[in-house]
Structure 1
Amino acid sequence: MAMQKRFKVGFGDVFPNGAFLKGSVEPVLDFNAEKRADGSRPQQVDPETGLLVWSVTVLDADEEASKRETAVTVKFFAKVQPVPPENKTPFPWTPVEFTGLTALPWIEETAMGRGRISWSFRAESMIAPGQSSQSGASSGQAKGAA
């Protein structure tokens, strides 16, 4: 049995102290595609599923995370823009949990010519912390997510 490149991980394994959305869900632009007539870039489409690629910036609440590891990107594949859970806090960052979370390690080249392991994260949906993924997560469900 070979280890898969992308593998399932538990939300608590990646974000043991929680996570917060910073900003909104954004389309991932396809810089390999030709620009449109208006000069804009089309949105990336996953070649395997045919679904659009979306991303969110996530703040890791781990006190021991390095400056570089504090903000990470999580991507979604969905027909329509995923909807984050409602922010019921007085803060600008929305507490969130991800379901169907997967990770892919890759080597990032540093300025000193050294490599370091980085991670690419993908999720099926996002829900409010503590909300069961079996409850439907209507406001937090990434509709059409693969």
Structure 2
Amino acid sequence: MALQGGRIPVRFEDLFPYGCFASGEVTAVADFEASTPTRKVQQRDKETGLPMWAVSVLDADPAARAANKSMQFKIAAADMPVLPELPAELAAVGVPFVPLVLEGLTITPWLDGAKIALSYRATGIRPVPMPVKAPKGRDPITP
């Protein structure tokens, strides 16, 4: 299988077996090279030409290392993706983070000095089907 642009497709369930949560709003990604102090330009995807958006997410896996708990996903989409509504069950117990499913996930490895780093992308966002089920062989997650 040939990889286009070095992007490796990955299933949401494999990357986030416990799910993930948006830890902020969806924002436009700035094109720092094209922007000026008085004119901000939004970054465009090099393959599709679509505007780039970003969302920070938290991995819900309790065993994830602290350094790997938070990551930013870039999304190429004509319109700004909209986060799902916070489910009433979670809002009632004070959970401030919105559970979501990222669609069309890819990972691109790159060198950051002597370390391998990963760049994360998605093609869209959708709500998590409720109720949330635990991965096979693991304890259920209760909000």
Could you say if the C-alpha distance between residues 124 and 63 of structure 1 is closer, same or farther in structure 2, counting changes exceeding 3 Å?
Answer: same
Structure 1 regions of 5+ residues with no counterpart?
110-114, 132-146
Moved more, 121-130 or 16-25: 121-130
Q: Distance in 1 between matches of 2:18 and 2:112?
A: 25
Q: Does 1:107 align with 2:94?
A: no
Map 1:16-35; keep pairs closer than 5 Å: 16-35=17-36
What is the aligned partner in structure 2 of residue 144 from structure 1?
Answer: none
TM-score by length of 1: 0.77
What is the aligned partner in structure 2 of residue 92 from structure 1?
Answer: 96
CA drift of 1:3 comes to 4.4
What is the aligned partner in structure 2 of residue 137 from structure 1?
Answer: none
CA drift of 1:86 comes to 1.1
Deviations 1:73-102 (A, max 9, x none): 111111111111111121210001111111
Contact 2:10–2:107 (8 Å) recurs in 1: yes
- What is the aligned length? 124
Q: Distance in 2 between matches of 1:121 and 1:24?
A: 17
Deviations 1:11-41 (A, max 9, x none): 01111111000110000001111416xx242
Letter in 1 for 2:100: V
Could you say if the C-alpha distance between residues 67 and 108 of structure 1 is closer, same or farther in structure 2, counting changes exceeding 3 Å?
Answer: farther
Could you say if the C-alpha distance between residues 34 and 126 of structure 1 is closer, same or farther in structure 2, counting changes exceeding 3 Å?
Answer: closer
What is the aligned partner in structure 1 of residue 16 from structure 2?
Answer: 15
Give the percent of matched residue pairs that are identical in Structure 1 and Structure 2: 40
Structure 2 regions of 5+ residues with no counterpart?
131-143
CA drift of 1:108 comes to 2.3
Contact 2:27–2:55 (8 Å) recurs in 1: yes
